Amino acid sequence: MRKRTVLTSVLLMLAFVAVAPLHAQEAGAGGNSQMVMWSIITAGFALAFAAAFGALGQAKGLAAAAESIARNPSAAGEIRGVLILGLVLIESLVIYVLLISLILFFIQPFAG
Amino acid sequence: MEKLEHPLWIVQIVNALLGPLVAAALGPLGVEFAPGEDVIPNYLVMAGLILVAVTVGCLLVRNRLRVENPGKGQILLEDGVSAIGGMLEEWIGPQGRRYLPLVGTIGVFILMGNYMGLVPGLMAPTSSINVTLGCAITVWVYYHIQGVKEQGLWPYLKHFAAPPGAPILIAPIMLPIEIISHLSRVMSLSLRLFGNIFGEELVIMILFSIVPFLVPLPMMLLGLVTGGLQAFIFVLLTVIYLQGAVTHHEEAHGAGAHAEPVAAV
């Protein structure tokens, strides 16, 4: 069941990827605007992936921290410090991707 | 991004007052300004505003500080100072309090800078890469200087090449890694703060342009949380970097809970 879901979603994504340029070609856009379009699509996907896996990593750390606080409440202060530090270091990776996406969205380095 | 930013009246006033002076001073250096362009950018005005606010606040508060019967504000300030001092002592050791001036200044500046973005009519200076990069470079230069001061130039350079206890043979591997990791600290410090605050301001601005009533409020509440957290994180990483530079590695093995330096980037 799970394999099939993954397969279906991958096939769907491939179908979108294959179909999208045709539409763009129909619009008669030049090379540059197509480049901008693809960079924007990439930016959206990049941010989605970064947020997803960043959240996954943060959730793992958070779960471990909550568990260990429940097991040993007297160590809560130290665990909280380590937790915040780790969360921020993970989050900063997502923030890098956010910045790259913002650059691709608004500054559009491939437009010129 | 210039289209999304509305002109701020305080920036316009400052530019009307000081703009021609600054432009005249920068003219011989070859810096040209287009007519109608702001000579002093937003973030510089806001950083100056923080400077003025802190100075005036300190001058006002100075005469009211009492050893007996302290007021509520004084207790709050003392708590803040002792929190940063306690963090320094916890990480670096009993001599950590000597780094309180710079660490505390950075903390106050970034905290006020983050929260300024939530006040109508102002913007957060930390949502500009120039300001955060300035803070990060300051911290970077400062912890290297303190490391050289504390350990001496040669031992400090040596601990880049080989960690204590390791043979000097691994220097060709360690040296590039250490140099890259130290250089990337500037990037990570500045981009983390910039990305957080800029992203938050952008989200508030976009929500504000869709529904300019009550809808941006939850994001602004979130901004209150992230602003404080990012200031705390900047201070914490500053302290960790200072600890890594200042600690004598020979003594560090048996000392305290944080003897092992955290490999934070």
- A62-74: pLDDT as tens digits: 999 999 999 999 9
Q: How is residue A4 annotated by DSSP?
A: H
Between B48 and B257, the higher pLDDT residue: B48
For residue B233, list chain A residues with Cβ-Cβ distance below 8 A: 84-85, 88
Give the three-state DSSP class for A30: coil
What's the pLDDT at A9?
Answer: 66
Indicate the helix (H) or strand (E) that contains B7: none
- Span A70-91, average pLDDT: 89
- How confident is the model over B137-153, as pLDDT tens digits? 999 999 999 989 888 88
* pLDDT, tens digit, 9 for 90 and up, residues B116-133: 888 887 888 888 889 999
Dump pLDDT digits (tens) for B26-64: 777 777 776 667 778 888 888 989 999 999 988 988 887
In sequence order, the 6+-apart residues with CB closer than 8 A to the CB of B45 are B8, B10, B11, B14, B15
Question: Has residue A7 got a pLDDT over 70?
Answer: no
Which chain B residue shows the shortest CA-CA distance from A106? B1
Is B196 in CB contact (< 8 Å) with chain A? yes
Check CB contact under 8 Å for A96 and B191: yes
> How distant, in Å, are the alpha carbons of B43, B67, B84, B97 from that of B156?
36, 42, 26, 21
Q: What is the pLDDT of residue B6?
A: 64
B233: contact with A, CB 8 A cutoff: yes
pLDDT value at position B174?
84
Residue numbers in B near A92 (CB within 8 A): 188, 191-192, 195
CA distance A39 to chain B (A): 18
Judged against a pLDDT cut of 70, whether residue A1 lies above it is answered with no
Phi, psi of B100 (to 5 degrees): -60, -40
Alpha helix (H) residue ranges in chain B: 9-26, 42-62, 72-92, 100-116, 129-151, 153-161, 171-210, 217-246
The pLDDT of B159-175, averaged and rounded, is: 78
Check residues B71 and A9 and name the one with the higher pLDDT. B71
Question: Tokens standing for B173?
Answer: 């591997």
pLDDT digits (tens, 9 = 90+) for A11-64: 666 555 555 554 544 444 456 788 888 888 999 999 999 999 999 999 999 999
**Half-sphere exposure (CA, 13 Å, Cβ side) for A105?**
14
* ipTM rounded to 2 decimals: 0.70
What is the distance in angstroms between the Cα of B44 and the nearest Cα belonging to chain A? 22
Pairwise CA distance, residues A40 & B162, whole Å? 44
Closest approach of B256 to chain A, Cα-based (Å): 13
For B264, other C-beta atoms within 10 Å of its C-beta total 16
- The letter for the amino acid at B36 is G
Q: How many CB pairs under 8 A join A and B?
A: 37
More confident residue, B263 or A78: A78
Contact: B233, A95; criterion CB under 8 Å: no
Q: What is the pLDDT of residue B260?
A: 47
Q: Do A89 and B236 touch (CB under 8 A)?
A: no
Q: Which residues of B140-179 are buried (b: 16+ CB within 10 A; e: fewer)?
A: bebbeebbeeebeeeebebbeebeeeeeeeeeeebeeebe
Q: Which residues in A53-84 are b (16+ Cβ under 10 Å) and which e?
A: ebeebbeeeeeebeeebeeeeeeeeebeeebe
Which of A74, A82, A91 to probe by mutation at the B interface, max B CB count within 10 Å?
Answer: A91
Model pLDDT, residue B94 = 86
Per-residue pLDDT at B3: 44
pLDDT surpasses 60 at B77: yes
Average pLDDT over residues B221-225: 88
Q: Which of A4-8, A83-87, B56-60 has the lowest mean pLDDT?
A: A4-8
Q: Which residues of B touch A98 (CB under 8 A)?
A: 195, 199
Contact A92 B264 (CB under 8 A): no
Beta-carbon contacts of B256 under 8 Å, excluding residues fewer than 6 positions away, are: B93
Set of chain A residues whose Cβ sits within 8 Å of the Cβ of B232: 84
Residues of B in contact with A89 (CB under 8 A): 264-265
Q: With an 8 Å Cβ cutoff, are A84 and B229 in contact?
A: yes
Hey, what are B190's tokens?
């500045």
B224 against B247, higher pLDDT: B224
**Nearest CA to B114 among B132, B96, B136?**
B132
Q: What's the gap in Å between the CA of B109 and the closest CA on chain A?
A: 20
